[in-house]
Amino acid sequence: MTRKLFPALAILAALVTVLSAARPARATVMVELALEDMIRDADAIVRGVVQSSVVRMDLRTGQLEPWTYSRVQTSAWLKSTPRAPQASTVDIEELGGVWNGGGSWIDGTPRYRANEEVVVLLKRDREGHLRTLGMVQGKFVVRRGVPGVPTALVRDLSSVGFAHWVDGQMTIGQLRGDPAMAFDGFAALVQQLAGYAGGE
């Protein structure tokens, strides 16, 4: 759902926002993406710490729109491509944000917070800007384990519903929790699939 805090902004990503009849609240509804497909499709997969996240009003489509700019200090590149070569920082741009009491936000857009450690799957859009692949599906928060407990990756998918088809009928529901994933296992999967897909 688009939360309107600023005069009507026409916002449609590659996903459709609808009203779920099964739930009283609105939510952004998307198709659940397979992690393996996301890894293959990503232009970059990085681990790092968010340095900053700010909102600016930009004139990109003939009208002012809020955009959120987040900078991540990279500590590891799990995948890079010519479209996203390795660098010490990456800048992620997402449509929407709260700005001086106004703005607009699409439920399902990932939020980046300063000093948060993340693993992010990134894709360049048609204008050449890096965006989070699959919206919230492409952002993981790093949870460092205590001694003897492996570092884990977790996602927050509470702001979205997922469409499923059974016997030709579409149903919409939220995942009942997204299980944490061991970072080492994720990194090994990226290495396996990125190599297969021709990534670096």
Task: Convert the pLDDT of each residue in 53-66 to its tens digit.
Answer: 999 988 887 888 89
In this predicted structure, the answer to whether residue 43 has a pLDDT above a threshold of 80 is yes
| pLDDT value at residue 190 | 96
In this predicted structure, the answer to whether residue 16 has a pLDDT above a threshold of 50 is no
**Side-chain-facing half-sphere of 14: CA atoms under 13 Å:** 10
Number of domains composing the chain = 1
| pLDDT value at residue 175 | 61
CA pseudo-torsion sign 37, 72, 115, 194: positive
CA pseudo-torsion sign 47, 50, 154, 182: positive
Q: Which residues touch 50 (CB under 8 Å, ≥6 apart)?
A: 70, 71, 72, 73, 112, 113, 114, 115, 116, 117, 118
Residue 28's domain comprises 2-197
Q: Give 97 or 49, the one with higher predicted confidence.
A: 49
In this predicted structure, the answer to whether residue 19 has a pLDDT above a threshold of 70 is no
Alpha-carbon distance values, 92 to 46, 76, 84, 118, 194 (Å) = 12, 16, 12, 12, 21
Q: pTM here?
A: 0.79
